[in-house]
Amino acid sequence: MNYHIGARYQRGRGIGSIFSGLMRGFAPIARMGLNFGKRVVTSDLAKNIAGQALDTGKKLALNMAADLLEGRNVKDSAQEQLDEARKNIATTLRGGGCRKRKKRAIKHFTKKQRLTYNLLHDD
């Protein structure tokens, strides 16, 4: 009888068996990458960078509109604004200064005055 014998990793299911083997090897790596990505996106640094980028984008749009109304060259104005935006975001990435510590509120406890009740006297 003449018949074809495939490679060892091909168990008679055609080319799909090769892809399923690749996916079995790739799935743990992909899962690890997704978990890392989730931690990065939810980190404080990412939130700070996103906030800074949003603020910078707003300022850039306002400044560009003002420059356009003044009659300045749009290309030069855009380049200046983008350079400034890059500096602001880079400063945020670097830490932009020392961290501020949260001041703990000092609780001052006062002695509670004891109230005495006397049923015989009306005060």
**pLDDT per position as a tens digit, 56-78:** 888 888 888 888 888 888 888 88
Prediction pTM value = 0.45
Do 86 and 52 contact (CB within 8 A), yes or no? no
Residue 30: how many other CB atoms lie within 10 Å:
10
Mention every residue, 6+ apart, whose C-beta is less than 8 A from residue 20: 13
**Residue 92 per-residue DSSP state:** H
**Which amino acid belongs to residue 52?**
Q
CA distance 43 to 50: 11
pLDDT above 70 (res 42): yes
Residue 117: how many other CB atoms lie within 10 Å:
6
Per-chain mean pLDDT for the chain: 76
Do 63 and 81 contact (CB within 8 A), yes or no? yes
